[in-house]
Structure 1
Amino acid sequence: MRDEESIPASSIAATLLDWYDRHARVLPWRIPPGDTRMPDPYRVWLSEVMLQQTTVAAVKDYFHRFTERWPTVSDLAAAEDAAVMGEWAGLGYYARARNLLKCARVVTDDHGGRFPDTHDALLALPGIGPYTAAAISAIAFNRPETVMDGNVERVMARLYDIHTPLPAAKPELRAHAAALTPDRRPGDYAQAVMDLGATICTPKSPACGICPLRAPCTARRQGTAALLPRKSPKKPKPTRQGIIYLVRRVDGAWLLERRPDKGLLGGMLGWPGSEWGEAPTEAPPLDAEWTTLPAQVRHTFTHFHLVLTVRTAVVAADARPTTGSFLGIDAFRPSDLPTVMRKAFDLWRGA
């Protein structure tokens, strides 16, 4: 076994690339190491947007559906907003879907359907931040950009035994990651570090014994790997309350409304309801005989917990709601609803 002195910092990237060549994850948006094809920037961009705050396992099916339905960025740009939002339903963080359309249309209209190949030009596109711009630059265009996600932060924190809590440690972690980013195969290297964090240098119980960087890893030698990275305590999430109304017409049509583009669940279909807060006010969309379901919908967003009371009613064919519109039974797909709204539908269906 090699000791820590035999792998200088300058060779860490080479060591990791050698490991990646043998152990790279097989992912639907990835060109495997050794393949001479260049990655499709559209597929790289789409996967990176989908993977924000979401696991690989959750993204795979969505990625397949999107690329089958819209194989190119120009196909996506031409899609109806409602169709894209419907396909995105359940993936969460719905501003990503709205920005996806905006970006696809800018790339199509202003760049001839081709993604720009520099970090700064990518950063100017809607919905693309520093991480995504760096990932596309490195993976799709093989530019030596420093790609920083949670996996990379964890690897750097352990490799250099950094105990400064996140998020304060981010600049220091980035500096170390930048120093290791090679000019040779930077796209493969970026994916290698992320794979290492996802499969070996995991948040809990890291597999240090089989890690390709076990020799130079300072935290392994110090016995602190499982403690890192440290994180500042999170503030407790508040709980908000709300009321939603599931209205079904006698012909089977459902009353739905599309939420405003800006704000939580923006642009998504949903059930009419009250504002969400400490003491919600009744806001029925029409006069009806309401039945309250015995169970409540519980859902957690990034910044708060939500508890929804569900009221249901069946109304006449000539009912006139004050908000939303009825969607025929043939046009209604529960899968088009965001998760919290689908939970309410599932609750009704199981009642």
Structure 2
Amino acid sequence: MSEPASAKLSSVADRLLPWYDRHARRLPWRAPPGARADPYHVWLSEVMLQQTTVQTVQPYFHAFLARWPSVHELAAAPRDDVLAAWAGLGYYARARNLHACAQTVSRDHGAQFPDTEAGLRKLPGIGPYTAAAIAAIAFDRPSAPLDGNIERVVARLFAVQDPLPGAKETLRARMGDLVPHDRPGDFAQAMMDLGAGICQPRKPRCMLCPLAEACRASARGIAGDLPVKAAKKAKPTRQAVAFWTVRADGCVLLRRRPDKGLLGGMLEVPSTDWTEAAWDAADARGHAPLAAGWTELPGVVRHTFTHFHVTITVWAAQVPADTTVAAGEWWPFDRLSDAGLPTVMRKIADHAVKQGAG
């Protein structure tokens, strides 16, 4: 007589943890199986990993630790330095919240992170997933984090066919049913690793999976079809004009964006608003940072954000060395790489240079 499906699912941790002991990924923020990681390392990595890949995050993680080895040192850093070091990771509200969270932990908690989900949720920038992940991985609490990899594993284990994102609460509850009281932190990381390396989005490697016998989707031959995702809406395209202004002493005009909103607090090449309607020359000129002999450069800059595309026309001008502006700062061109420009702004700078406007 075959083992009931409910019994197989109840043994998920018993099947998965020995696999994790042998196959755990070596990541710079992780402790070996059976050991607890530094909460500062776990928090920093989890914030960086939101909407970003492990491969992309690793050099940033090393750079942050080299510069700010503790949460106290990160809290004491100027926010602009943190934003500049974050440049290229995207979703810049994370960097602002990272700095605010470090200050809160340093000032209000004696540089010690709270060790419960409830306590972690009170910190800036820490939502349900991040709180659960830190509580489990850093403090071995029986929490149920649910990232994209774990969503996929759980959806297949239980053959959940309701589409995401509507099915998230069902998947979170199912994950909670699986979390063991022994080694919950390792279990969470094992589920992440299983999703990353075995239970992949396309062509899941079921023959190598330690949970294959417990997986309802695999038994039904539908693992590759799960999780179901709702159809994505087409992204709109916005238009803008950027003003690449070079002073005769070799400085480039930059300005800082407002704290709230897209790319908040980051330095930018001054531009018009980003609108769905194209800009005509007269309206665009009214948004220029100063009066100058503007020339439209050939070609455009294209960039994609989470919810929209943007197409940017670049206007360039050269101005005298004594030119001043009411808003903005003149940045030496040979130090532009130190400005921490977000990716779209680096694209504008690269485009201007390629067109001979550097």
Task: Please give the range of the TM-score, normalised by the shorter of the 2 chains.
Answer: over 0.9
* Structure 2 match to 1:290: 294
Distance, in Å, in 2 between the alignment partners of 1:331 and 1:32 is: 40
* Structure 1 match to 2:350: 346
Residue 10 of structure 1 and its aligned partner are, at CA, apart by 1.8
* Structure 2 match to 1:142: 140
* Structure 2 match to 1:8: 8
* Structure 2 match to 1:197: 195
* Structure 1 match to 2:328: 324
Distance, in Å, in 1 between the alignment partners of 2:67 and 2:329 is: 27
Instruction: Pick the aligned partner of 2:38 from 37, 40, 61.
Output: 40
Asked if structure 2 preserves the Cα contact closer than 8 Å seen for 1:95 and 1:266, the reply is yes
* Structure 2 match to 1:218: 216
What's the TM-score, normalizing by structure 2?
0.94
| SS, match of residue 86 in structure 1 | helix
| SS, match of residue 123 in structure 2 | coil
Asked if structure 2 preserves the Cα contact closer than 8 Å seen for 1:250 and 1:314, the reply is yes
- Following TM superposition, where does structure 1 have runs of at least 4 consecutive aligned residues deviating by more than 4 angstroms? 3-7
Asked if structure 2 preserves the Cα contact closer than 8 Å seen for 1:272 and 1:323, the reply is no
What's the TM-score, normalizing by structure 1?
0.96
307-316 vs 41-50, greater mean Cα deviation:
307-316
* Structure 1 match to 2:99: 101
RMSD: 1.4
Deviations 1:128-175 (A, max 9, x none): 001010011000000000111111111111111111101111121111
| SS, match of residue 215 in structure 1 | helix
Asked if structure 1 preserves the Cα contact closer than 8 Å seen for 2:8 and 2:213, the reply is no
Asked if structure 1 preserves the Cα contact closer than 8 Å seen for 2:72 and 2:111, the reply is yes
Which letter maps to 1:294? Answer: P
* Structure 2 match to 1:24: 24
Q: Give 1:54-93 correspondences, 5 Å limit.
A: 54-93=52-91
Structure 1 unaligned residues grouped into runs of 5+: none
| SS, match of residue 42 in structure 1 | helix
Which letter maps to 2:32? Answer: P
Residue 278 of structure 1 and its aligned partner are, at CA, apart by 2.1
Asked if structure 2 preserves the Cα contact closer than 8 Å seen for 1:155 and 1:197, the reply is yes
319-328 vs 243-252, greater mean Cα deviation:
319-328
Distance, in Å, in 2 between the alignment partners of 1:205 and 1:310 is: 43
Asked if structure 2 preserves the Cα contact closer than 8 Å seen for 1:90 and 1:335, the reply is no
Instruction: Pick the aligned partner of 2:238 from 237, 240, 245.
Output: 240
Which letter maps to 2:20? Answer: Y
Asked if structure 2 preserves the Cα contact closer than 8 Å seen for 1:5 and 1:216, the reply is no
Distance, in Å, in 1 between the alignment partners of 2:22 and 2:50 is: 26
* Structure 1 match to 2:121: 123
Residue 291 of structure 1 and its aligned partner are, at CA, apart by 2.1
CA 1:250–1:311 in 2, change beyond 3 Å: closer, same or farther? same
Residue 330 of structure 1 and its aligned partner are, at CA, apart by 5.2
Deviations 1:185-226 (A, max 9, x none): 000000000111011111111111111111111111111111
Distance, in Å, in 2 between the alignment partners of 1:334 and 1:231 is: 40
Distance, in Å, in 1 between the alignment partners of 2:192 and 2:250 is: 48
Distance, in Å, in 2 between the alignment partners of 1:332 and 1:166 is: 42
Distance, in Å, in 2 between the alignment partners of 1:60 and 1:8 is: 36
Aligned length: 347
Asked if structure 1 preserves the Cα contact closer than 8 Å seen for 2:75 and 2:103, the reply is yes
321-330 vs 99-108, greater mean Cα deviation:
321-330
89-98 vs 215-224, greater mean Cα deviation:
215-224
Asked if structure 2 preserves the Cα contact closer than 8 Å seen for 1:335 and 1:342, the reply is no
Which letter maps to 1:111? Answer: H
Deviations 1:102-146 (A, max 9, x none): 000000000011101111010000000010100110000000001
Residue 4 of structure 1 and its aligned partner are, at CA, apart by 6.5
Residue 323 of structure 1 and its aligned partner are, at CA, apart by 2.9
Residue 286 of structure 1 and its aligned partner are, at CA, apart by 1.1
Which letter maps to 2:296? Answer: T
Residue 331 of structure 1 and its aligned partner are, at CA, apart by 4.2
Identity across aligned pairs (percent)?
57
Distance, in Å, in 2 between the alignment partners of 1:335 and 1:258 is: 11
